[in-house]
Structure formats: C-alpha cells, structure tokens
Amino acid sequence: MRCAIIPPHVLDHIAEHHDEERLRELAQRTLVIDRGQRQTRAAAQLISEAEPTTGPATPKRTIHDAKHQQTLPGKTVRSEGGPATGDKSADEIYDWLGVTFDFYRSAYGRDSIDGAGLPLVATVHYAVNYDNAFWDGSQMVYGDGDQQVFTTFTGPLDVTGHELTHGVTQYSGGLDYSGQSGALNESLSDVFGSLVKQYHLGQTADQADWLIGQGMFAATVHGVALRSMKAPGTAYDDPNLGKDPQPADMAHFVKTSRDNGGVHINSGIPNRAFYLAATAIGGHAWEKAGRVWYETLTSRRVPTDADFKTFAGMTHETAGKLFGVNSAESDAVRAAWTTVGVEIA
C-alpha cells in the first residue's frame, strides 16, 4: 500500500479553504497524484523469505532526482559511499536513510527494512511543488512542497523514519490499511519515526518532544507539527489547515468513511498509548517500550485485520515475556492502553 505522510483530510481542507488560489490548486493537484498512485500501485503485503544476513550490516543507498517529473525512480545522483551532491534534499535523505538503517540495526538487530539487507532507494524533487512524501512499497519519494504551507519533507528525520517503517510493517506481514488496523499501521510508523529521531538525538522518553513532522510547516502556519503523540488533537489549529482532528482516547474515536476509515486520525489513540507506556517505563524509549512494540509487530502473529484491543493484548503479552508477567514494564503497558480506553482482557 502506498502510504503518504500528509493525510488527505489536511489536503482537502487546503484545497477547499485556503485563501490563496495557487495553494488550493497545488493541494488539489497533490490529491489527484495521490489518488493515481493508489490506483496504479498494488498493495504490497510482503513477508521477507530471505535469510537474515550475517556479519556487519551496512546500508545500500541510492538517491535519485525526478527533476519535477512523475517518472520513478529518476536520475541517479548519489550512490552508497559517494560524495555529497550539494543538493540539500538529496543529501539530507541520504543521511536520514542511513540513520534509520542504523537505528533498526543497532536497536533491534534488523538488517534494513526487510531484515535481509534490502537496498534503500529514494527519489527527491518529485513532481512540481508536490505537497507530500510517501513509501510506495519499494522506495521513498519526496516532493518539494508548495513553500508557503509545507516548506520541506526531507528535513524532518521522523518523516523518513515514519515512511520507511511502513516498509517494516509491510515485510512483517502487513496490517490492512483501513479502520483500526490501518490506524495501527499509521501509529506504528509514528512510533518508530519518533524513536528514530530520539535515537539520533540520544534523548530519553522524558526529553523527547513526541511530535511528528516538526519543521515541515512554514513559519506562518499556526501549528507545531503534523501530529502530537503526547497530546493528540493539539498539533495544529490553522484556518488554512483546519484543526488537528486526532482523538486521544476511545471515547472520542472518529467514525468516518474518509481516509480509509480515518487511519491518520484514529492513530492518535495508539500513539498516546505508546507515549504513556514509554514515559512510565522511562529511559530510552526504544530500549523497552519500543522493543515491546517491535517484537509484537515482527512476531508474524499479528492478524492483518487486528483492532486496537487485539494489538494491545499482544503488546501486554510481549511485555510479560520480555520483562516478566508482573513487571513494571508489563504493568505500564496495560495501564497505558487502559488510559486511552482500550481494555486488555
């Protein structure tokens, strides 16, 4: 499944309500491109059958330039070990692919997105003022933004971490991209996107900002980021963007047929559950809370149509196996899910 960082409800609001015609047109053009991509790229639910590599794992990165066209992958501008190009977008993504690779290798012993050394491919300067970035099932793609609402998609590290984690989910058996399973899919990408950033900055759970996409908005936008895992629903409130619609608990679960059943909206609920678990456990969030979520995701036991309750129960079970049934870590996971209104049997 092609997964993009900017949800359709945000682009819809810009296309319908922005006070500048140019921005309305660019948002509408992005929506058209996004719909076309979803129609032409079949959902990829892949499980890696390759044997994990032995010895030191190293990334295999290739960066391409679409030169504002929509043909992928575009012209190769930098390969693994090659010198910087001088193109800020291309060089940022080369670095961020490396950081994300290093995070998964160092934190969880995973060799690339598929666990078996998958080459990391990315394309920058996709289309003209394209307001999105996405994982298409095989590579990363970044637009340049309209420069008035969205100024960069290559700058925030967690955007790359988020999108590449869609690949990790894909290669771990997948989660249906609709309803609660789709919201879990999005939440897992937010979780590990944030953890990649925290790992890179050396932050503990209490030091992290728990924001997704901080730095992509222009200075005139009233908002701190695209999403807040700590406080869903508070990331932005801007007349041209609308108000962040994410709920923080099941009492405010949003029922909608748009955005595949609100996958980018209701992901706020499991996002907050992870934040609560991670901060209650303390320390570096990728070491304990992150390991619980990672081991659950990659267990090959998560149903593709898993709902919040199913996944919550599995994370609690995993915490018990890793740290003990009556451990502080296990109790923190249960309490986090209970706080957001997801009861564990």
Say if residue 73 is preceded by a cis peptide, omega within 30 of 0. yes
DSSP state of 52: P
CA 200 to chain centroid, in Å, comes to: 16
Select which of 13, 125, 264, 284 is catalytic.
Answer: 264
In sequence order, the 6+-apart residues with CB closer than 8 A to the CB of 185 are 3, 166, 169, 175, 176, 177, 263
Beta strands in the chain (DSSP E): 3-4, 61-65, 75-79, 120-124, 133-135, 140-142, 211-212, 227-228, 237-238, 242-243
Select which of 13, 92, 125, 163 is catalytic.
Answer: 163
Annotation says 166 is catalytic: no
Q: Which two tokens stand for residue 119?
A: 């080459």
Report helix, strand or coil for 300. coil
Report helix, strand or coil for 152. coil
Class of residue 325 by CB neighbours under 10 A (exposed 0-12, middle 13-18, buried 19+): exposed
The residue whose two tokens read 């999105």 is 132
Q: Which helix (DSSP H) or strand (DSSP E) does residue 121 occupy? A: strand 120-124
Report helix, strand or coil for 272. helix
Annotation says 49 is catalytic: no
Is residue 5 within 8 Å of 132, Cβ to Cβ?
A: yes
Closest CA to 145 of 11, 2, 240: 11
DSSP state of 41: S
Q: Which pairing describes strands 61-65 and 75-79: parallel, antiparallel, or unpaired?
A: antiparallel
Q: Which helix (DSSP H) or strand (DSSP E) does residue 159 occupy? A: helix 157-171
User: Which residue type sits at 152?
Assistant: T
Q: Which residues are catalytic?
A: 163, 264
